[in-house]
Amino acid sequence: MTGYSVDGTRLWSRLMDMAEIGATANGGSHRLALSQDDEDGRELFLAWCENRGFTAVFDRIGNLFVRRAGRTPAAPPVVIGSHLDTQPSGGRFDGVLGVLAGLEVLETLEDLELATEAPVEVAVWTNEEGARFQPAMMGSGVHCGVHSLAETLALTDASGIPVAQELERFGYDSGVEPGSRAIGSYLELHIEQGPVLEQEKKTIGVVTGGQAIRWYTLTMTGEETHAGPMPMAMRRDPVRQLAAVTELVYRIGLEDPDARATIGVIETQPGSFNVMPGQVRLSVDMRHPDEAVLGHMHGTLAEGIAQLNAEAEGVDINLEQTWHSPVVTFDTQLIEAVRTSAAARGYAARDMVSGAGHDAFHLAKVVPATMVFVPCRDGISHNEREYTAPEHVRAGANVLLDVALQAAGVQAPAGATA
């Protein structure tokens, strides 16, 4: 279905305007979830929506829903979504591309005065990144019933600020109940965050699902003491176990070419030059496209930590799994719609599994869902250097438009324009 096309210039301009909010020195973006910069980005997005007459609703976890009405108001909407929050030194496209491409779809329908049977909405999910509050994909998780609202509101950031306090600060606590808004199907456009599409000179990634993810907090506890007077042999020093723990994690990650194992955070407490730490905390992120293999990796990690704990005199090592996102399989009809659109428009495409987690993973548990990927330069993401070309932005949004039109009940005319 290729009768219509988005305004790529308008979409690119919006991306660059949004990047000015929370702009970093090296050309990236810093909009941590529920921060003032995140809220400023949301306000800019809502201003664009209001200018076109689209109605907006928010829920008590801060998710935003912007609607363009359909012929059948009661029909469950086709929802296009992603997020506006970023990593501390994130890029200009991760998440924001999916949100603004969704708005571009709505604006294209409006420009063409094109009616859809079902409403079409854009969703902005709260705290997808998990950089400030954990777990990641928080807002979509609450919407889909994966996380309880009460427990999520009580979560705190590294400074001890709870989610509930920040939501109240921006007025989201007066929103509708999460999950109360029906969704008929869900679409999400995203940069690949890997090198495959670029290396193979493909424009569209047809995402068939996502790999499984497990997050852990690993805590090693000894006893802090002065760096000078206490003899080395008498110390209960958790830092001595750090090398063995990191070696275990990376050995597990290297056992299988499809496996991923990452230590992203290492913290010592109290964190003073002349104090031997009493505690070391690490984050561990493990991933695999096969749930059974990830389960084996989990078992190997747990057994390895148990063995190290038995050998570590005077230091207690504790492993806690904090999050598990199982393998995700997307909707076959929506996947085929993405393939069909790419082929009809002449975009080179390939099937692929997402290595990163996305809000679509939660949505796929409750409604038909799929994703569309476009290339990013050098496969770099979660980085200020993150970049995708304007022509790829436009191509991805065009595929999104085609699939949304099909799902919402519009048949495009013959005679394609790309």
Among residues 209, 189, 205, 207, the alpha carbon closest in space to that of 197 is found at 205
pTM (2 d.p.):
0.85
Query: Is the Cβ–Cβ distance between 83 and 124 less than 8 Å?
Result: yes
| CATH topology classification for 212-325 | Alpha-Beta Plaits (3.30.70)
Task: Give the position of tokens 């695999």.
Answer: 288
Tens of pLDDT along the chain (418 residues) come to 457 999 999 999 999 999 999 999 999 999 999 999 999 999 999 999 999 999 999 999 999 999 999 999 999 999 999 999 999 999 999 999 999 999 999 999 999 999 999 999 999 999 999 999 999 999 999 999 999 999 999 999 999 999 999 999 999 999 999 999 999 999 999 999 999 999 999 999 999 999 999 999 999 999 999 999 999 999 999 999 999 999 999 999 999 999 999 999 999 999 999 999 999 999 999 999 999 999 999 999 999 999 999 998 899 999 999 989 889 999 999 999 999 999 999 999 999 999 888 999 999 999 999 999 999 999 999 999 999 999 999 999 999 999 999 999 985 444 444 4
What count of other Cβ atoms lies within 10 Å of the Cβ of residue 74? Answer: 8
Topology of the domain comprising 8-211+327-408: Aminopeptidase (3.40.630)
Instruction: Count other Cβ atoms within 10 Å, centred on residue 268.
Output: 18
- Going from N- to C-terminal start, the domains of the chain cover 8-211+327-408, 212-325
